[in-house]
Structure 1
Amino acid sequence: MRMESDTFDALDLQLLSALEIDGRASFSRIAAVLDVSDQTVARRYRRLCAEGGLRVVAIRDAHRLGHDQWMLRVRCTPDSAVAIGDALAKRPDTNWVGLTSGGTEVLCLTRPRSQGDHDDLLLGKLPRTPSVLEIRAHQVLHRFYGGVHGWVRKFGVLTADQIAALRPRTAPVPGPARIGPEDEPLLAVLERDGRAGHPELQRATGRSESAVKRRLTSLIASGAVYIDVEFDNELLGFPVAAMLWITAAPAALHSVGEALAGHDRIAHASATAGTSNIVASALARSTADLYAYLSGPLGHLDGVQHVEVTPFLRRVKQLTYPRPVR
């Protein structure tokens, strides 16, 4: 893909791609791989944070942890969408909230940590909200793309050698991924700032610096946690975003999902239960570009029976915290 932006250049894109591979990589290591100075990387990073909405945070991988995920479609009266979205963004069991359909629908990705969280949201608070007209819940069954696989890598700005040099040097941890109560102070810091230094993590946890390093390395190597990046897509020349609710023939469900994972315009795709069986998020340069994708690569996939498109109005919460007003 080509980046179309007057503000950011190819080096910024390389830096974003490097952070997707290892969000905790030191500026010196990134600089060596990109063949620039440490000061250049640090300066570009600070500018991306200030002007491009860049945040690096730790994410609990529900897929690897075996936790349920639900995508909720909350249809509501237009005058209440913002308030409902803000209320959902404040909940600790949500990690993505957006407004779509001209402000008449709130989308929410929730990861309940207990059955009580799930029941409280789906059977308690939301149904009792007078301005909520309808709730559709789609359980996430399988991830085709997203999570540890970031969208920026689809630009192909790093060579295979650069990618290999940036990958964290950790051996896989045998056994199932696990997060224990003792990990919560550590994750509380990393979910705010995935690049927090070891001294800060030591102060938050009361552990020695070496113990903090070992546990963080183990959490990442096991797949329980990964370091993700958030940024403003419009600054890369992709201001248009939409959620795609796709119905595929059951026999074609996996092949359609795998094909979507390879499409440049797709930032995330999962199989779900519900009225559709695949949900995907698409990014485009313009509404014409979105139409070209829908009528071209997506429309030509064998097995696709129906597609509903809900354009984003704005994101209320992404990753772990509500988005700041910019």
Structure 2
Amino acid sequence: MDGHVVDELDRKLLHALEVDGRASFSRIAAVLGVSDQTVARRYRRLCAESGVRVVMVRNAEQLGQDQWFLRLRCAPDSAEAIADALARRRDTVWIGLMSGGTEVACMTLPRSPGDHDELLLGKLPRTPSIMEIRAHQILHRFHGGPDGWFSKFGDLTPDQVAALRPELPPHSGPAHLTPEDEPLVAALKRDGRATYPELQKATGRSESAVKRRLGTLLASKAFYLDVDYPPEIVGFPVAASLSITAEPAALHSVGETLAGHHEIAFAAATAGPSNLVATAVAKDTAGLYAYLSGRLGSLEGVRHVETTPFLRRVKQVTYRPLRG
């Protein structure tokens, strides 16, 4: 299915998984009005042929952990190797080659201040083929993370979304993670749809204990389930990183407006020379130009936009080496 755009039912299935990544095939089938076997077959095909995966992701913002957007200018023959090495790290997401293959964009997802220091103050500065490091701390996320992109397109009706939304236990207080949670989190990072017997085996805890703890972690928003898929399969093969400078008084309103644009897959306020970073996706280059010169270009409060197309996505949520 590589290079092939999915059909309407596949899009609805992906949207359903975005609402609840652990919803049973029978529940999804009932909402979509098809058979259980059809949903199971479609899901397995998407996984096998397009690399679709449901995975648990740490919510850095909710856990109070710093997150950084990095732009690394590299020697021309080293950017791909650096991107691949970063992609293998557990503390990175959303890695791409940009600027004709001489620049790497990377989002960090550190588990601790030590992770952050080791990468930004240790590993990267000692890499001789990295010519320049631009680090932008994420200050506020407007869209992305647990906010699903498919929700912007209305593949499912509001009633269908409501029927799929998981029932989570009530939660109050700050999100937190204990050492005992690590085996559970690790298993769900490998497969967010792992069965409760599989999670029991991975953790050594009873199925009921695993189910309760997973519900608590999701209710606390310390973690969320994400659907990892190549955007080209849903008809958006063109992507670009946008570094936007907005008037300080307009920063929040510009960010909120960007979050509502269907072309924007991610948007956040940052520290650094620009104060917003976003990822725009489009069906083709003409579509990207239309967005930049139209809705974005006319947005009140925007002073400057630097557009850097992605040459290749190396990692979104999970890393899959290129097939030989």
Fold-level similarity (TM above 0.5): yes
In the TM superposition, residue 35 of structure 1 has moved relative to its aligned partner by: 0.6
Aligned to 2:233: 235
1:181 to 179, 197, 210: 179
In the TM superposition, residue 51 of structure 1 has moved relative to its aligned partner by: 2.3
Runs of 4+ in 1 over 4 A off after TM superposition: none
Aligned to 1:91: 89
1:322 to 295, 319, 324: 319
Amino acid at match of 1:163: V
Aligned to 1:165: 163
In the TM superposition, residue 60 of structure 1 has moved relative to its aligned partner by: 0.8
Q: Aligned partners of 2:6, 2:25: CA distance in 1, in Å?
A: 19
Aligned to 1:214: 212
> What's the CA shift string for 1:27-64, capped at 9, x where partnerless?
00000000100000011111111222211100011111
In the TM superposition, residue 112 of structure 1 has moved relative to its aligned partner by: 2.1
Amino acid at match of 1:323: R
In the TM superposition, residue 214 of structure 1 has moved relative to its aligned partner by: 0.2
Q: Aligned partners of 2:179, 2:93: CA distance in 1, in Å?
A: 20
Q: Aligned partners of 1:47, 1:90: CA distance in 2, in Å?
A: 25
User: Which secondary structure does the structure 1 equivalent of 2:86 belong to?
Assistant: helix
Q: Aligned partners of 2:231, 2:118: CA distance in 1, in Å?
A: 33
Partners of 1:72 and 1:137 within 8 A in 2: yes
Matching of residue 33 in structure 1 with residue 31 in structure 2: yes
User: Which secondary structure does the structure 2 equivalent of 1:156 belong to?
Assistant: coil
In the TM superposition, residue 81 of structure 1 has moved relative to its aligned partner by: 0.4
1:275 to 256, 273, 276: 273
Partners of 1:315 and 1:323 within 8 A in 2: no
Count of residues in Structure 1 that have an aligned counterpart in Structure 2: 321
* Coordinate RMSD, CA, aligned: 1.2
Q: Aligned partners of 2:124, 2:277: CA distance in 1, in Å?
A: 22
In the TM superposition, residue 87 of structure 1 has moved relative to its aligned partner by: 1.4
Amino acid at match of 2:246: A
Structure 2: tracts of 5 or more residues without a match: none
User: Which secondary structure does the structure 2 equivalent of 1:315 belong to?
Assistant: strand
Q: Percent identity?
A: 71
Partners of 2:55 and 2:225 within 8 A in 1: yes
Aligned to 1:19: 17
User: Which secondary structure does the structure 1 equivalent of 2:166 belong to?
Assistant: coil
Q: Aligned partners of 2:90, 2:167: CA distance in 1, in Å?
A: 31
Q: Aligned partners of 1:225, 1:190: CA distance in 2, in Å?
A: 10
Structure 1: tracts of 5 or more residues without a match: none
Partners of 2:5 and 2:235 within 8 A in 1: no
Q: Aligned partners of 1:166, 1:189: CA distance in 2, in Å?
A: 23
> What's the CA shift string for 1:285-326, capped at 9, x where partnerless?
11110000000010111000000111111122221x312424
Partners of 2:242 and 2:278 within 8 A in 1: yes
